[in-house]
Structure 1
Amino acid sequence: MTEYEKTVQWLAQLAKEPAWALYAKHRATELESLWPGITEVIRAEMNKPKDSAGLLSVSSAQAQNKD
């Protein structure tokens, strides 16, 4: 799993928690300079169901060239 994928999963999970939602939004905005479009990917990930391991799945197309 790439750093991009880990970050997307982590921020999507945080954004679902009311106490952490503003932090997750702020951090995603900061990361836009490094990974353009990450906020949209996080929003999409938040709407995906969890897999059997309890993790959100980032598609390989979204993670391509994001290292």
Structure 2
Amino acid sequence: MQTSPAKLLILIALSLVIIVEGRTVLAFFGVDIPPLETALIGLVVIVALLIWAIRPIRGSPSETE
């Protein structure tokens, strides 16, 4: 794991805030994004963060060759 579970939780929380507030900012400019698409984008971001956190570090001794 590249990061601690606490840092991962903070990253997920911040990314969700940015996604929701980004949707609000885009609405001011007339760009409407449905809630379902916002939820799907949030899900993709969370999965990407989880994959990043779980993948082994390149060159680490725990990695099998």
User: Which of 1 and 2 has higher RCO (CA within 8 Å, sep 6+)?
Assistant: 2
Instruction: State the TM-score, normalizing by the size of structure 2.
Output: 0.37
Higher helix share: 2
Higher-Rg structure is 2
Instruction: State the TM-score, normalizing by the size of structure 1.
Output: 0.36
